[in-house]
Amino acid sequence: MKNILKVFWIIVIMMVVGCNNSKEIILICLGDSLTAGYGATTPFTEDESKSYPMFLQKKANISVINAGVSGSTTAHGLVRVDSDFLFKNPDIIIILLGANDVFGNIPVSTTQSNLQNIINKVDNGNRKIYLAKFYTDEIAMSMSISSDTITQYNNMFTALAASSNNTTLIEDIWTGVWGIHMSDNFHPNANGYEIMADNIYNVIKSYLQTIR
């Protein structure tokens, strides 16, 4: 009987230790106002609690850190990589940057260089990187972006996604959001950010299943 109890407690201890050793999955969202939750509940105001990263955290049931700063360009994002989050050693990074480059008339080649440098910085060989488009072709046209520039951006995103085996492109974050659940001409409201999180989750969920 004593031997049976001994074996029982050994099994219990092993199960507890195994549970305690399970690694917490950390996902960081690097971005601009679309990540910060700008316009979620009040126009022209950030509400991180209703941002897509927070909705994504609930959906995926993992730790999600919002590294979105309104007004950020890809250059700003590159500067913030080390100081803001890389020291947290995330398992997954979602990069949603570039819209402010367009509004600032920054050359596509500069945007591509900055995004490539971000990818190079965060790619440690094991970390999963998702690069999200901030537009669809239809949206870009509604923003009066020329067809030539749209082609350049599409080629840029394709090249960036191909630059690393650990990088996957999120083609469309806007389905069910654009023109429906908006707080202004470019930012979603809370409902829109929740749908945006769903769109992103649908892309990353297969990878999450492999690392849980």
Q: What is the mean pLDDT of residues 19-46?
A: 89
C-beta atoms surrounding 130 within 10 Å: 21
Per-residue pLDDT tens over the stretch 62-90 = 999 999 999 999 999 999 998 888 899 99
Residue 212: predicted pLDDT: 86
pLDDT greater than 50 at residue 10: no
Is 167 contained in some domain? yes
Query: Three-state SS string across 3-38, please?
Result: HHHHHHHHHHHHHHHHHHCCCCCEEEEEECHHHHCE
Is 18 contained in some domain? no
Is 139 contained in some domain? yes
Is 181 contained in some domain? yes
Q: How far is it, in rounded angstroms, from Cα 104 to Cα 35? A: 18
* R_g (Cα) of the chain, nearest Å: 20
Residue 23: predicted pLDDT: 73
Is 2 contained in some domain? no
The letter for the amino acid at 65 is I
Q: Do 189 and 2 touch, CB atoms closer than 8 A?
A: no
pLDDT greater than 90 at residue 8: no
Per-residue pLDDT tens over the stretch 164-209 = 999 999 999 999 999 999 999 999 999 999 999 999 999 999 999 9
Per-residue pLDDT tens over the stretch 121-159 = 999 999 999 999 999 999 999 999 999 999 999 999 999
Is 14 contained in some domain? no
pLDDT band, residue 13 (cuts 50/70/90): very low
Q: How far is it, in rounded angstroms, from Cα 25 to Cα 189? A: 28
Residue 18: predicted pLDDT: 45
Q: What is the mean pLDDT of residues 92-113?
A: 97
Q: What is the DSSP string of the chain?
A: -HHHHHHHHHHHHHHHHHHHTPPPPEEEEEESHHHHTBTSSSTT-B-GGGSHHHHHHHHHTSEEEEEE-TT--HHHHHHHIIIIIGGG--SEEEEE--HHHHHTT--HHHHHHHHHHHHHHH--SS-EEEEE-S--HHHHHHTT--HHHHHHHHHHHHHHHHT-TTEEEE--S-TTTTTTSBSSSS-B-HHHHHHHHHHHHHHHHHHHHHH-
What CATH number is attached to the domain comprising 108?
Answer: 3.40.50.1110
Q: What is the residue range of 36's domain?
A: 25-211
Is 16 contained in some domain? no
Q: What is the domain count for the chain? A: 1
Residue 1: predicted pLDDT: 55
Is 17 contained in some domain? no
Provide the whole-model pTM.
0.89
List all residues 6 or more positions away from 154 whose beta carbon is below 8 Å from its beta carbon.
137
- 13-51 burial, b at 16+ Cβ within 10 Å, e below that, comes to eeeeeeeeeeeebbbbbbbbbbbbbbbbeeeeebbeebb
